[in-house]
Structure 1
Amino acid sequence: MLFSRGLAALILAVTFFSPLHAEFLYKDDVVKNPNFKDQIESIGKELKAKTGVTLYLVMVRDLENNESISDYEKRISAESNDSVVIMTFVELQKEVDILARPASLYKDFNKAQILSPNATFVGAMVSSVMFARSWNDAKELLSNSGGTVLPILAERAKGDEIISKYSVAMYNGYADVAEQIAASHGQTLSSSAGSGSQIFIDIIRLIFYGTILYALGIYFWRRFFKKREQK
């Protein structure tokens, strides 16, 4: 089952097409869900009104002519004279990025945290044990946790669940960026789901990664004792 701060809003049944023009959902070739669009538009509109920052969400199947995701975002940012933050998801490459213009906007949100592959500190610990090649690698992995996009994209799904997973992951990340930008301006967003459900999500993820850590402990324990028996 997929968990997110925006899951409750996204699973509402939608049986009509919304005619509202999508301003903040800049492009969507992936989800194509009116309810998803309305949720993004609501957050983006409130954020712009309270902070003056335009937060775009871009979701494309793939990029053409071997264009990088950062170059694609730069082309979009060049179209606006506003303070703009662009969150982009490329489905076939499973790649997510966030670009801010002017660059001073990066201080308004924690890009490394939002795009961390680890949802919790426990997950970061597991990653450091499994993948760190040096102490510096381990410190970097441990310092970046609390990811709100990639951990959801990494969850297994099939059929229609795949699009639902994309919806949850990108809504989760978009809301996280918006809330952080708003907070940096001394504002709160009523249109976003807030931190209450995020606490519940963190508990679920803590249990999940705790299970992984337990499994790793059992694996190494059995391997150690098997070597002792062989000796």
Structure 2
Amino acid sequence: MRTVLKGIFFAFLFFFPYKIFAFNAIVLNENVLNDKVIKEINLIGKELYDKTGIFVGVAIADQTPFEDLFKLQEQLIKPNVLLILSKISHKVDIIGTKDSLLFFDKNKVLSPYSGTGTILPILTSSKGKDVFNAAVLNGYADICDKIAKYFNLELENSIGNANRDTINILRILIYGFICFSLLYFVQRKMKRKRNG
């Protein structure tokens, strides 16, 4: 009985492609990303791939030079997008097939401004020791969300842009408080002039 079950299992493996069992969006990880981030990236990437057929991967290196990471994109299934980051070179970029790069604006994802970009603002912040995990997860999720939006889809596993939304809400509250304070100050000054 055991040998029959083994035979069925190996026959199943032979006739069905491996990608049914495992989806791996992590093309390269030189001990930079932790297991929790890898799991999140794979969940988001698999859902996007299942819904659109577009593979979005991550290649993050500790010691590999930035230029060597470009070669990895050629080995991926097409269409594809690859987020590459080299710690030793201090560089990050998004590359991919021509058609897949039309589905989102990579310059917005790579923007250094916190209201727009989702990678560089985290990498340049001095707070937190685990900026690479946060930056890669944020950037990867942003890429996938933008591609899904292009196809009028919503990803169930998306982490969304919670950080950006929180920052924007805080900005609105702070600016609102400043405007209110200024108006209050001007109104009191005008009242004193009328009374005095």
TM-score between both structures, scaled by the size of structure 1 = 0.60
Percent of residue pairs identical? 27
Q: C-alpha displacement at 1:193, in angstroms?
A: 1.6
Residue of structure 2 in register with 1:60 after alignment: 61
Give the 3-state SS of the residue equivalent to 2:125 in structure 1: coil
Q: C-alpha displacement at 1:31, in angstroms?
A: 2.5
Higher relative contact order (CA 8 A, sep 6+): 1
Give the 3-state SS of the residue equivalent to 2:99 in structure 1: helix
- Paired residue type of 1:104: D
On the 8 A contact 1:114/1:173 being kept in 2, the answer is yes
1:153 aligned onto 2:149: no
Residue of structure 2 in register with 1:171 after alignment: 137
What are the equivalent positions in structure 2 for 1:1-231 lying under 5 Å apart? 23-64=24-65, 68=67, 72-73=69-70, 75-101=71-97, 103-120=98-115, 146-157=116-127, 161-162=128-129, 164-195=130-161, 198-204=164-170, 206=171
Q: C-alpha displacement at 1:100, in angstroms?
A: 1.4
Ranges in structure 2 where 5+ consecutive residues have no aligned partner: 1-20, 176-196
- Paired residue type of 1:116: S
On the 8 A contact 1:22/1:37 being kept in 2, the answer is no
- Change in 2 beyond 3 A, CA 1:113/1:32: closer
Q: C-alpha displacement at 1:202, in angstroms?
A: 3.0
TM-score between both structures, scaled by the size of structure 2 = 0.70
- Paired residue type of 2:117: G
On the 8 A contact 1:30/1:91 being kept in 2, the answer is no
CA-atom RMSD in angstroms: 2.4
